[in-house]
Amino acid sequence: MSAYAQLAAHFHALSAIEGASAILGWDYEVMMPSGAAEIRAEQLAALAGIAHAKLTEPAIGEWLAQAADESLTEWQAANIREMKREYAHATALPADLVEALTRATTACEHVWRSARAENDFARFQQYFEPVLALVREAAVIKGEALGLHPYDALLDSYDPGMRRAIIDPVFDDLQAFLPPFIEQVIAYQAAHKPFTPLADAIPIAKQEALGRQMMQLLGFDFTQGRIDISAHPFCGGVPGDIRLTTRYRESAFTESLYGVLHETGHALYEMGLPAEWRNQPVGRARGMSLHESQSLLVEMQLCRGRDFLHFALPLMREAFGTAGATWDEENMARSLTRVERSLIRVNADEATYPLHVMLRYRLEQALLSGDLPVADLPAAWDDGMQAALGIRPDCVGNGCMQDVHWPGGSIGYFPTYTLGAITAAQLFDAARRVIPDLSAHIRKGNFVPLFGWLREQVHSRASLHSTPDLITQATGQPLNVAIYKAHLTQRYLDQP
């Protein structure tokens, strides 16, 4: 066998191990009995150790060196590039640290569920401090091995090539733009866009049925995936076996519906990855900012737009058996594009959402460096929310404990949400320019042109190109925050 063939076989087997861990992780969030957390932590830690050992075998380094002299196709060469990146990240960490991280994060996530509900920060702190210490240790080790700042090393884990030097100017631009823009929008809404809140209580069974219908209309294949309920909506599983979750409240059906739509965007990306490269690094999604762009393109760009609402609102009224002025298109559009200051990130509108992300971006860097002790996190969070949005959390459950990311050890992930939103606006803008009558297609419920274009330009290319190159090839220009700001201005101030 050639060196490349040996690498491909090795990473194919590794993919199966990682896939098993992904399904066990989904089961942990959705189906596992609460008393099984300890044994599941051991199972996941063992699999993490096996995967790490397989990814750090000395033979991989030898094969990578030998493969450099072989004649490779474009996809094979890109696969080698991705293998090298994964190998560099993995060999930086000792196996005992990988297993310890898995145990600590699994235990912390389990405690977080009940501690958040009970607003028990002290209990959460006991489990989060060990997680943070281990993440800090891993970040320092990776940073030294890769020649990166520790936080940049974490960023690179979620979004290859992402650095603070790229993020900071973008966030500085948004930080200058958003607060006065939000003030202007709230005043504009009060003067020009009054709306009647949707007071109907929608049974959960009807919400579930509508969510499934919308998923199918967008192209989700239920022979290769499913949807369930969890404390925090997510898209998990593996390509070919996609697992979505959402959560429901009878008094707020749009939260669950748009959570479903958001996660469906993630799922369609995974389902559109090239099957022939499914078990290879190059066949994976190209980083989390691009992944978030796909979910936010569906949720925000497409499904909160007037064209989609024109098609979907009659289906909502039929599914729920509702009628009246609150369920007309104008009122629904205003309710779905309402800008208001709120405490919960996952429920935030797209204008205020980046401020939530930027707060977390600042705080998690301070946590990682040690400048912010965990004990001081609630006060720092509350002060940050006051400065960013002019509101203070009423409890830690609605404050610094609201997200699963930090208890799960995912420090460096949050920036991808806003980078994804900017990318989503740019991709949707490009789709409108190149697809004839896209608006008319959407109004008729024909989503094939849009998702066909996305599959061609984004999904099918997987990790063949870097994120900047992929964005430039798909849209004709590098990432441009001005397109996102123009989208916000047009949607929320009715200005071209």
Token digits of residue 190: 């009060």
Question: Is 263 considered catalytic here?
Answer: yes
CA distances from 137 to 143, 156, 369 (A): 10, 16, 11
CA triple 13-15-18, angle to 5 deg: 115
Q: Which of 109, 263, 270, 364 is catalytic?
A: 263
Q: Provide CB contacts within 8 A for 320, sequence distance 6+.
A: 200, 202, 206, 210, 253
Token digits of residue 30: 């959705």
Q: Which residues are catalytic?
A: 263
